[in-house]
């Protein structure tokens, strides 16, 4: 189903204005519930690696088939009632795949806690954004982790969903969110999910490969408009974007590091395990509180520019 430029723009603006209110129906939360239920049914009781890998494959196909089928059926039923209703449902589904407002809002909560010198509050607010352990984080750790998640989620939560909306409409964007949510819930390299979550993790890498790299010129152009640091952002992404355990996350993080002249990544704790990651932006300084506002401004401008570009391209097709 074609996704029209006005629908793309409307979805972006609705997310920017309303975000993800807890009282509103939200398909992505439903996907999370579905994933938990399917995992509970399919997770093997034995420790055989091949069985875990096979079960993880069936798990992925079950969730994906359910999400895509439900989205397609919902749009089809709405279209049978009236084409205008199908358009509205498509915009609603599209809106729920975006995270611009929620990313800005949650980041602002961390910043507000730090301004109050409320380190426990900042740790708690950050824990809603990241999977790493926050209980023992210093202010420097919190700042660096926050800037990393703003950069990474710009790619995963804004650039990628908008890309898939423009390419294949709401159904493809919902499929992408299913891929992303499965990875966030089971795509871990630990004893529990190493084999069961392998398919989810690898397919998330594939789904984000193109959007992660497309995010670099968008960030560089936005950085040029905001502070004239576009060339530095692009250069850092090209030379240090691959210095990350993820094949995709490092590119937006490196572009942000160059744009803001800050050092990101580095050692962190995940699920009780210390991970010694290399720094990105090694030549730059540490993150400061003022960088939070700069990062949020950069993220917002990137989201606007990317939406505008995709709407123009869609209109020209």
pLDDT per residue over 119-158, tens digit each? 999 999 999 999 888 988 999 999 999 999 999 999 999 9
For 156-189, the pLDDT digits (tens) are 999 999 999 999 999 999 999 999 999 999 999 8
pLDDT, position 131: 83
pLDDT of residue 197: 98
What is the mean predicted confidence (pLDDT) over 264-278? 75
Task: Examine the pLDDT at 2 and tell me if it is beyond 90.
Answer: no
pLDDT exceeds cutoff 80 at 275: no
d(CA 57, CA 184): 16
**Does 1 score more than 70 pLDDT?**
no
Residue with the two structure tokens 């089928």: 69
Residue 224: domain span: 5-316
pLDDT of residue 49: 95
Written as six digits, the tokens of 220 are: 């560089």
**Global pTM?**
0.95
The per-residue pLDDT for 179 is: 98
* Helix or strand holding residue 273 (H, E): strand 273-275
User: Any idea what the Cα angle at residue 213 is, between residues 67 and 9, rounded to 5°?
Assistant: 55
DSSP H helical ranges for 228-248: 230-240
Give the whole-angstrom CA distance, residue 63 versus residue 31: 8
Confidence of residue 269 (pLDDT cuts 50, 70, 90): low
Q: At what angle do helices 139-154 and 290-316 cross, to 10 degrees?
A: 0
Asked if 212 contacts 249 with a C-beta cutoff of 8 angstroms, the reply is: yes
For residue 111, give every residue at least 6 positions away whose Cβ sits within 8 Å of its Cβ, in sequence order, or none: 146, 289, 292, 293
Tell me what the mean pLDDT of segment 251-272 comes to.
Answer: 88
Closest residue by Cα to residue 143 from 282, 264, 280, 251? 264
Q: Which two tokens stand for residue 131?
A: 């999977």
At 269, is the secondary structure helix, strand, or coil?
A: strand
Q: Domain total for the chain?
A: 1
Nearest by Cα to 134 from 153, 104, 102, 106:
106
At residue 276 the predicted structure's pLDDT band, cuts being 50, 70 and 90, is confident
pLDDT for 22 equals 85
* pLDDT band (50, 70, 90) for residue 3: confident
SS3 44: coil
Alpha carbons 89 and 162: distance in angstroms, whole number: 16
Residue 267 has pLDDT above 80, yes or no: no
């Amino acid at each position: 189903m074609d996704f029209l430029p006005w629908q793309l723009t409307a979805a972006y603006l609705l997310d920017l204005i309303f975000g993800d209110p807890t009282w509103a129906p939200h398909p992505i939360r439903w996907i999370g519930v579905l994933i938990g239920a399917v995992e509970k049914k399919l997770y093997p009781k034995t420790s055989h690696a091949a069985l875990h890998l096979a079960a993880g494959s069936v798990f992925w196909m079950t969730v994906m088939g359910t999400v895509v089928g439900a989205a397609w059926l919902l749009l089809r039923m709405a279209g049978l009632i009236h084409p205008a209703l199908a358009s509205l449902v498509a915009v609603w589904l599209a809106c729920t795949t975006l995270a611009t407002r929620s990313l800005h809002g949650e980041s602002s909560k961390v910043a507000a806690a730090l301004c109050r010198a409320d380190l426990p509050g900042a740790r708690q607010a950050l824990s809603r954004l990241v999977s790493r352990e926050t209980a023992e984080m210093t202010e420097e750790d919190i700042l660096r982790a926050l800037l990393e998640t703003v950069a990474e989620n710009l790619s995963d939560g804004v650039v990628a969903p908008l890309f898939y909306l423009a390419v294949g409409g709401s159904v493809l964007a919902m499929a992408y969110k299913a891929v992303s949510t499965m990875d966030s819930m089971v795509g871990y390299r630990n004893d529990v999910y190493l084999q069961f979550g392998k398919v989810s993790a690898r397919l998330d890498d594939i789904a984000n490969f193109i959007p992660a790299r497309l995010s670099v010129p968008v960030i560089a152009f936005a950085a040029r408009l905001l502070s004239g640091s576009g060339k530095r952002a692009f250069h850092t992404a090209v030379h240090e974007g691959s210095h990350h355990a993820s094949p995709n996350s490092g590119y937006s993080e490196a572009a942000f590091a160059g744009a803001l002249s800050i050092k990101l990544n580095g050692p962190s704790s995940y699920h009780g395990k210390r991970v010694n990651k290399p720094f990105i932006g090694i030549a730059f300084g540490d993150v400061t509180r003022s960088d939070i506002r700069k990062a949020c401004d950069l993220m917002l401008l990137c989201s606007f520019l990317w939406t505008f570009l995709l709407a123009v391209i869609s209109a020209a097709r």
